Amino acid sequence: MSFYSISFIVFFVFFSLLMNYAPTAKSQRRILLLANAVFYGFWDYRFLLLLILVIVIGYIGAIQYKKNHNKIWIDGAVIIYILILGVFKYFDFFSESFSRIFSIKDNVTLNLILPLGISFYLFQAMSYLFDVKYEKIEIEKDFVKLATYISFFPQITAGPIVKSKDFLPQLERLHRIKKENIYSGIQLIVLGITKKLVFADRIGVAVDEVYKAPISYNGISVLMAIVGYSLQIYCDFSGYSNIAIGIAKIWDFDLGENFNAPYIAKNPSDFWKRWHISLSTWFRDYVYIPLGGSRNGMFRTYFNLFITMVLSGIWHGANSTFIIWGIVHGMASALNRGFNDCLRRTSAKYTIPSGLCIMMNYVFVSLAWVVFRADNFKHACTIYKCLFNTSGLLYINVYVVAFVIIYIFISVFAVIMNNGNIIAINLNLDSMKNKILISIWIWLVVEFMYCGNSAFIYAQF
């Protein structure tokens, strides 16, 4: 059920009415859980059984931990979650890799369909168990409430990954649909659809053409494809986040922010504070800090940073390219931390202009995206080599150029006017002028939207 389909509109209006007229928070939770089940089951009802199993494991693990005061219940549930993720997402990859390394002809593969959003809802379930273990929240005795949190439909397929300590308290209160929330939510949804259908999908057509046969294009075209993919994945993923946050906002839920102008980051660490913020903070809170964070000396700090980023790469998928991408970002984060530590120890006053830092970091991130996007490492190397092609087709997509100009303008405006933070769109729709503006905006989206394949990139993870 796509967010911009007729079936979703019918679904959303129907459950909005039920939610708004439910008399108590308890009845709202039941309605919301039913909505979650309908939404997820619409994709493939068979995966509902796995989702229910994940919820039951988390519920029992936490309850038994409270009864027995033994962390093995929490740790055991987390291990089961990791095994579930491993079987569905990584088993075939590691089996095939093992067979290839040791020249085994008859390798064992399961050929399982990857359940939609499995990485996202498993991480939310683990968040609950970790928050219980670290005493950030109380044990949740209400099964419906826990199930509603883990399966919350706006973000179950591609995030944001909302921590239990941030979301479960919101289920305690009665939610009503308010005018100001509708105004904010609609603008976030329209912004997300604009990013996705007008820019990401149209840019994606150009990127796909070049990545299919990079040797056929000259260096400028390959460079534009690399820049294009950096814009495509940003528009696609941040667009989904905008839509999810906007839908939740209409129902009076807060999912937080997931992107904050990532391409004006000055270094790799700054980038990960701005890109996929919910995943970055998840790994920070549940991997980096438990490993020791920066508490055990500088070399252990660098190691912790490196391991955290490698695990982040592995989370993205069962492909060597994701592992390499994680290693590259892990090395960059560790080197950046080491460079800053050296400057502090020597009291050096050496500084690099902010504009140059932003440009250098964008080049690094964009080149790293090549490995992320490529079919395999050999394909990525071919892309890099083709940057130096002096012959071949010249292919410059107008949407890539247009969005580069728009993004530069927005970024400069954000740096100058909002201290490097993204500028939120918050029109007062009580004003007739603003109603006309958003109507024109929606009309332009309809006129320029891409009508081909519009699957979200991160839904595959």
C-alpha–C-alpha distance, residues 167 and 172, integer Å: 10
Tokens in use for 137? Answer: 């929240």
Q: How many CB atoms lie within 10 A of CB 290?
A: 12
Query: Do residues 253 and 170 make contact, with C-beta atoms less than 8 angstroms apart?
Result: yes
**From 175, 276, 316, 329, active-site residue:** 316
Tokens in use for 102? Answer: 């040791």
Please name which of 62, 36, 192, 235 lies closest in space to residue 140, comparing C-alpha atoms: 62
Residue 316 bears catalytic tag: yes
Q: Which amino acid is at 66?
A: K
C-alpha–C-alpha distance, residues 407 and 413, integer Å: 10
**Cα separation values, 108 from 89, 99, 373, Å:** 15, 9, 27
Rg of the Cα atoms in the chain? 23
Q: How many CB atoms lie within 10 A of CB 265?
A: 21
C-alpha–C-alpha distance, residues 268 and 38, integer Å: 40
Burial class of residue 74 (count of CB atoms within 10 Å of its CB; 0-12, 13-18, 19+)? buried
Active site residues: 316
